[in-house]
């Protein structure tokens, strides 16, 4: 059971770094970049910061997924996916899948090019859309986190 505890510690730290970074991008970086007067500076600054955070996000989401699935494996808790009271496990998996698809597939293959193209044409609208998407993902992540903390302490909100 010691390996489970270690996996949980690793999992929580990875989530803190990952979602904390999303919060920083959403509440500080994008608003600051949006206030810049030069379109060129907006794009350059965001791409520099995003490029560095992207690596952190990729590493932490990978660690989060590996440690999370390891904990489910160790507990043999796969049946929790079949119980509605464990909705937060579904939510955790959904959030992880969304971010993983964005970070590993959409961003490198599509989003980077689309962002650059649209930001050159209309940076204000581009950053507004991106900011709203980040807010959506952050709020979904925070609701999920609240559900996980409550559920792991026996408050499920929904019972079978």
pLDDT single digits (tens) 68-116: 999 999 999 999 999 999 999 999 999 999 999 999 999 999 988 888 8
pLDDT per position as a tens digit, 29-39: 999 999 999 98
End-to-end CA distance of the chain: 28
Residue 129 has pLDDT above 70, yes or no: yes
Q: What is the pTM of this model?
A: 0.89
Confidence grade of residue 160 (pLDDT, cut at 50, 70, 90): low
107's CB contacts (< 8 A; 6+ apart) are: 54
Residue 50 contacts residue 107 (beta carbons within 8 Å): no
Percent of the chain with pLDDT over 90: 76
Buried b or exposed e, range 26-59, using 16+ CB within 10 angstroms: beebbeebbebeeeeebbeebbebbeebbeebbe
Residue 158 has pLDDT above 80, yes or no: no
Residue 139 contacts residue 24 (beta carbons within 8 Å): no
Residue 3 contacts residue 74 (beta carbons within 8 Å): yes
What pLDDT is recorded for position 152? 87
Look over the chain and give the mean of its residue pLDDT values, rounded to a whole number: 93
Across the range 148-159, mean pLDDT stands at 83
Confidence grade of residue 52 (pLDDT, cut at 50, 70, 90): confident
Q: Which range has the worst mean pLDDT, 36-40, 59-63, 98-102, 140-144? A: 36-40
């Amino acid at each position: 059971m010691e390996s489970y505890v270690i996996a949980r510690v690793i999992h929580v730290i990875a989530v803190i770094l990952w979602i904390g970074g999303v919060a920083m991008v959403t509440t500080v970086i994008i608003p600051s970049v949006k206030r810049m007067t030069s379109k060129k500076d907006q794009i350059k600054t965001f791409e520099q910061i995003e490029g560095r955070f992207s690596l952190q996000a990729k590493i932490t989401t990978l660690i989060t997924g590996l440690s999370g699935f390891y904990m489910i494996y160790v507990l043999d808790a796969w049946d929790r996916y079949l119980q509605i009271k464990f909705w937060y496990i579904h939510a955790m998996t959904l959030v992880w899948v969304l971010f993983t698809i964005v970070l590993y597939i959409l961003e490198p293959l599509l989003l980077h090019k689309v962002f650059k193209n649209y930001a050159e044409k209309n940076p204000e609208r581009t950053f507004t859309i991106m900011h709203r998407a980040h807010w959506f993902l952050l709020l979904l992540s925070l609701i999920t986190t609240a559900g996980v903390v409550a559920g792991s302490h026996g408050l499920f909100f929904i019972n079978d």
